Structure 1
Amino acid sequence: MAQKRMFTMKIVDSDAFLDMPLSAQCLYFHLNMRADDDGFIGNPKRIMRTVGCHEDDLKILILKRFVLTFEDGVIVIKHWRMHNCISQNRYHETQYIDEKSKLLLKDNNAYSLTEGKPLDDRRRNNEPAAITVEEDKDELTMSGGRNCYPTDFEAFWSEYPRKADKGQAYKKYQARLKAGFSPEELLSAARNYRDECEINRTEQKFIKHAKTFLGDATPFVDYIRKGNEGPAGRAEGTGEADFNRYL
């Protein structure tokens, strides 16, 4: 079992989450900590009893769509891939393959049983995929002509506040990985920079391009831990209406 998990403030700082009883919030954090690398939990009731929560707490998480359920009692954290970005060399696929095959992935990286694209974790499982790298372009291209990037970079890109020059950003991202930074650290930096821009209401034209943010002359490392410092504050737009985008 992994010893470290991450959480995005987009979810745990939303009104939908904070309006739940503290016991339900507590159960959610414990379920996340004990989930496998795909967000699946096979013994939710045992965890519930271990931490002293009640069955109603689990029912609330299901009703609020923070977890998805399967007929055999297995559950999965709906926003798992928004919370966590696990590098390929540390990823271990879930044992609940049948349940995973039923999941779809929405554009915001949330799991769904009804809408989204089929999961494709062949790259994470070191299986061959129909992907080639064209050196004259700053991006990965699938054989069908569709741009494709690793899951960890897509998670970073989804959090970064300005979407421009994705191919160049990916090159800089790879350089930072080779320099020893982890996907989790780069994801944290993107989130914290996004939060700062939201709080300061920075105009889009003044937000750094990702290729610049990750460049050698930019102290992006200052943002890796920045979210844990300073006075606590909630950025605008984390209310119920905004949160519904992730459900």
Structure 2
Amino acid sequence: MARYTRVKCRLWHDEKVRALTEDGRMCFFYVLTSPHSNMLGMYVLAPGYAAEDLQWPVERFRKAFAELLDKQLVKHDAKTNLVLIRNYLEHNPLENGKQVIAALKVLEELPTSPLFVLLNEALERLGKPYAEPLREQLSKRCGKPVSVSVTVYRNSKDNELAPQALAPYPPDFEAFWQAYPRKREKKDAYVKWRTCLNKGFKPDDIIAAARHYADECLRKGTPPGYIKHAARFLGPSEVFTDYIAGIPESGGIPRGRATGRGAGQVTPEQQQLIDKYANLGKPEPALPPGAV
């Protein structure tokens, strides 16, 4: 979600806006300031969510939104429900390399769409050299080459580098990401993924854990905001190990051998995996003196 959106007073004198019906104007201001929006002015907006936010019937929203399309105020990809606000970046430009870093993260969460071409053209018109990493990534996603110059810039203020275009993620991680129920902070999740692999965990086991966790969230009807970020799922506490063999019956699988109180809740398959991964990441025991 964008923290704020610049809406200039002269918008009320815009011919296209003045030509809208009352519902059309309300819909346009909703699209500009929607809680689903972001710093790119391009985001997924399902009609049902929009109608709920506006407290309208869905058909009322569709009719008002059609006015915006007719006036070329927005573009829409019906296949992905992606909305692009025309001229958004002219009034809300990316102003430095740090904002481009944030925009790259936003782009990771969006489904690939033909609208990427229009967004790329909008960035080109702005002519900001520090935005070229974002243009390169858009070009890779939409399969259309773009001509850019240098892709790394030194920020004189904070002595940091602007981002380079992101390299493609490996297929195993993409399979995990596809299976995981909450797709936020993909780059952070990939860092944790690499850490898990370095500890000796197998990609297939981690992918299976993601699928089992997704099934659990679906069965319980877990609200999206309460689903763990993938980076936390893979993080230091290794929550994913609870889900490798299936959905835990209650409270997750114990981290060590299942003995004593509550041990009956662990299946033989789960116990086998507990034993398999029990010592991963632990330091090797020191040799006694003279044992070499």
Alignment TM-score, normalising by the size of structure 2: 0.35
Structure having the higher strand fraction is 1
Give the structure with the larger helix fraction.
Answer: 2
Query: Could you say which structure has the greater relative contact order, defined with CA pairs below 8 angstroms and 6 or more residues apart?
Result: 1
